[in-house]
Amino acid sequence: MNPKITNSFFALIFCASLSYCNQTAKELEVPAEETQHANHTPKMSEGAVIIQDQPEPDTLRGSLKAEAHGMVGNAHLTINYHSPAVRGRNIWGGLVAYDQVWVTGAHSATSLTTDKDITIEEKLLPAGKYALFTIPGKEEWTIIINKNWEQHLTDDYTEKEDVLRVTVKPEAAAQPQERLRYQIVSEADSKGAINISWDKLKVTVPVAI
């Protein structure tokens, strides 16, 4: 066989193999943004704690500064709040009045931060930081996302600053929860939920991107 033809043949094979390898590497390459979120380690605020399952009372006094972090799809969500305890009190319809705007925490407004646009019950919420209020009811709760996250309790709350409102159904919790707890739960297909648990009640707020 002609040496020139042989060399040309092997050169073509080499180039084809190199092209295939490069293409395969690109297909397997994970976007930098996805890698960043997959390896994301939340930065806790000074003095904040993550509230866990807590069926029994504790000996701590007052409402604890707390945070919840989680991913929904590639969106990182953070909830900053203060967590009061039951301490043997009547919560629903007692300490927390029905049909009134509630801070859903204590001291300062509870805040929700998302670094990506998300939807709550299919309503768009642009990336940013917001206040999260609720109106608890016996049969349903209104979830309120409001522009003014920097306020004491609901002192400066005004409905005209609401970004969105949705209604959800409360349900009985699997076990009592002594301290108010927020959880951000990740599910399949870029969906998830914000869970609010306190006393013997749980509220689930669907979230997606």
Q: Mean of the per-residue pLDDT values for the chain?
A: 85
pLDDT of residue 2: 52
Contact 83, 60 (CB under 8 A): no
For the chain, the structural domain boundaries read 3-30, 47-208
Q: How many residues appear in the chain?
A: 209
Residue recorded with tokens 């005004």: 158
Contact 111, 131 (CB under 8 A): yes
Q: How confident is the model at residue 35 (pLDDT cuts 50, 70, 90)?
A: very low
pLDDT for 37 beyond 90: no
pLDDT of residue 41: 59
Retrieve residue 130's tokens: 């917001």
pLDDT of residue 127: 98
pLDDT in tens, 164-200: 999 999 999 999 999 999 999 999 999 999 999 999 9
**Stated pTM of the model:** 0.79
Based on its alpha-carbon atoms, the radius of gyration of the chain, rounded to whole angstroms, reads 25
Query: Which residue in 182, 147, 142 sits closest to 165, CA to CA?
Result: 142
Taking residues 96-116, what's their average pLDDT?
A: 97
